[in-house]
Amino acid sequence: MSRKILVTGASGLLGSHVLAVLSAKNDVVGWTHSSDRAPLHRLDATNARQVDQFFRTHKPEICVHCIASPDVLACERDPDMADRLNAQTTEHVARACTESGAKLVYISTEYVFDGTAVDGYTEDSQPRPLQTYGRTKLRGEEHAAQVPHHLTVRLPVLYGGPVQDRKPTWIESLLRSLEQGVPVELDDHFERQPTWSYDVATVLARAIDQDLEGILHVATQEGLTKFAWGVKLAEAAGLPSSLVRPSTAPPESSGPRKPARPWLHTHRLQQLGIPPPPGVSERVAAYLRSLGRERKVQTS
């Protein structure tokens, strides 16, 4: 059954994939800060009046709220900006969903946890963010929870294609450096669950089809440090993996505090018959092909 769905942050890393995947079966429109060409609408989600007017005019049945400031360091440097994008936009959207009867699907993060739990985190675990980014995303969760029909989806670190008007990702920079024969140091302390944004979008589509509510963790169950991840990228691209080296800098040497291992368990997802997204080892070749990068002759 086709439904009218709004995707906020629809030109971003995740939002662009969500827009494309959901459009296959639904009537989907998106918000961006820079484009006003169908199916995208230019809208300032920090402006409550604009948000309310859009909901009154377009009457979405479901809103997938992807707008966020995911740059942890930028959030620490500018907490007001982080609050506006991560918490206030969610407050505006949550209120509009409640008033219109729309369902809210809120995209949250592993960073609501401190990463100290040896066994990882389930949907019922108590959040304890360490930095501005995590705290503002948790406030977003609290706003989303006020909507009668809501689904909060916590995600790990994502990877995907280039995003318009944003600097190159670390993956793009890594591949460029290796192509030029330049060594790259990457962190080998913090374990993450790197997940392709396209795979997240396909899981979200299934969750929406099943009308899931509450909290849901969506993450690959393969853990990697950034160094191990970089090695896999280099090998899959046929670039010299010997140039990828573990960083000598100790953890927490600079910048905001990061959770050491905020492992997201996906028991609920699997109990619902939805497998977690594949890990980097399984998806790295397909991901590189999506970037138009053909495997080169291995030189390491």
DSSP 245-270: EE--SPTTSSSS---S---B--HHHH
Assign 27 a pLDDT band (cuts: 50, 70, 90). very high
Nearest to 113 by CA among 265, 8, 253: 265
Averaged over 208-232, what is the pLDDT? 96
Averaged over 55-76, what is the pLDDT? 95
Higher-confidence residue of 299 and 220: namely 220
Does some domain include residue 209? yes
Residue 100 CA to residue 94 CA, distance in Å, equals 10
Give yes or no for residue 215 having a pLDDT over 90: yes
Which residues 6+ apart lie within 8 Å of 70 measured at CB? 109, 133
Burial code (b: 16+ CB inside 10 Å, e: under 16) for 27-63 equals ebbbbbeeeeeeebbebebbebebbbebbeeeebbbb
Assign 298 a pLDDT band (cuts: 50, 70, 90). very low
Assign 40 a pLDDT band (cuts: 50, 70, 90). confident
Given this model, what pLDDT does residue 250 score? 67
The CATH number assigned to the domain holding 73 equals 3.40.50.720
Does some domain include residue 153? yes
Burial code (b: 16+ CB inside 10 Å, e: under 16) for 245-262 equals ebbeeeeeeeebebbbbb
Q: How far is residue 227 from each of residues 59, 188, 190, 241, measured CA to CA in Å?
A: 46, 5, 9, 10
pLDDT in tens, 254-267: 678 889 899 999 99
How many domains in the chain?
1
Mean residue pLDDT across the chain: 92
Nearest to 258 by CA among 112, 108, 85: 112
Assign 295 a pLDDT band (cuts: 50, 70, 90). low
Give yes or no for residue 146 having a pLDDT over 70: yes
Given this model, what pLDDT does residue 212 score? 96
Does some domain include residue 294? no
CB of 98 closer than 8 Å to CB of 146: yes
Does some domain include residue 247? no
Tokens read off for 65: 């709220």
Does some domain include residue 98? yes
Helix (H) or strand (E) holding 98: helix 89-100
Give yes or no for residue 248 having a pLDDT over 90: no
Residue 116 CA to residue 136 CA, distance in Å, equals 20
Does some domain include residue 173? no
Global pTM reads 0.93
Does some domain include residue 134? yes
Question: Distance of alpha carbon 189 from its chain centroid, rounded?
Answer: 21
Given this model, what pLDDT does residue 36 score? 72
Given this model, what pLDDT does residue 257 score? 87
Given this model, what pLDDT does residue 299 score? 40
Residue 199 CA to residue 275 CA, distance in Å, equals 11
Given this model, what pLDDT does residue 294 score? 59
Given this model, what pLDDT does residue 233 score? 96
Q: How many other C-beta atoms are found inside a 10 Å radius of the C-beta of residue 182?
A: 11
Which residues 6+ apart lie within 8 Å of 185 measured at CB? 245, 246, 247, 248, 249
Given this model, what pLDDT does residue 297 score? 41
Give yes or no for residue 49 having a pLDDT over 60: yes
Does some domain include residue 265? yes
pLDDT in tens, 102-130: 999 999 999 999 999 999 999 999 999 99
Give yes or no for residue 234 having a pLDDT over 70: yes
CB of 46 closer than 8 Å to CB of 100: no
Q: Range of 121's domain?
A: 4-167+195-221+259-279
